[in-house]
């Protein structure tokens, strides 16, 4: 998978407080690594949507990562709310993650992220339009 770093995205990430910035960079790297594991080696786009780092693969649904000053002790990974993604994640990993409605998985800055499970969620999002017709997105 080919992706060029977007300097505007890195500028936004650099505005986050240090503990959060480190966590967001880990999420960013996990998204890139997951995209690299896709059999379709098209381009991963890194951009800003709503001023937040966002990632999109061909045939996928956008994945955003963000920290919000209004909730300084948490950060999250956001998915398109009109998909079945978060509902599927709740079914698969309801005991592993904290969810925000049908759009996000929220993490506390102080807690470890279950990386294997999160990587699976990212994978489902990055290939969503190929699997959206399958029960539990083919999981």
- Cα(116)–Cα(118) distance, integer angstroms: 5
Nearest to 78 by CA among 56, 111, 110: 56
The strand pairing partners of 105, in sequence order, are 77, 99
The reported pLDDT for the residue numbered 100 is: 95
Q: Which residue range is the domain that position 39 belongs to? A: 7-138
Please report whether residue 44 resides in a domain. yes
Mean of per-residue pLDDT scores for the chain: 92
How confident is the model over 62-89, as pLDDT tens digits?
999 999 999 999 999 999 999 999 999 9
Nearest to 32 by CA among 123, 98, 100: 123
**CATH code of 105's domain:** 3.90.1150.200
**Model confidence band, residue 41 (pLDDT cutoffs 50, 70, 90):** low
Helix (H, G, I), strand (E, B), or coil: what is residue 69? coil
Nearest to 62 by CA among 44, 75, 48, 80: 80
- Cα(118)–Cα(56) distance, integer angstroms: 16
Please report whether residue 15 resides in a domain. yes
The reported pLDDT for the residue numbered 135 is: 86
Please report whether residue 1 resides in a domain. no
**Model confidence band, residue 134 (pLDDT cutoffs 50, 70, 90):** confident
Q: What percent of the chain has pLDDT over 70?
A: 97
- Cα(31)–Cα(72) distance, integer angstroms: 22
* pLDDT of 38 higher than 90: no
């Amino acid at each position: 998978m080919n992706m060029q770093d977007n300097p505007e995205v890195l500028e936004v990430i650099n505005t986050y407080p240090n503990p959060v910035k480190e966590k967001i960079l880990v999420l960013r790297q996990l998204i890139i690594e997951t995209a690299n594991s896709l059999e379709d080696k098209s381009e991963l786009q890194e951009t800003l949507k709503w001023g937040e780092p966002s990632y999109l693969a061909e045939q996928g649904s956008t994945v955003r990562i963000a920290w919000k000053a209004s909730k300084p002790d948490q950060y999250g990974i956001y998915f398109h709310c009109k998909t079945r993604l978060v509902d599927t994640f709740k079914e698969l990993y309801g005991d592993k993650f904290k969810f925000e409605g049908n759009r996000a998985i929220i993490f506390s800055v102080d807690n470890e992220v279950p990386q294997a499970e999160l990587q699976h969620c990212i994978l489902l999002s990055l290939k969503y339009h190929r699997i959206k017709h399958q029960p539990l997105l083919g999981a």
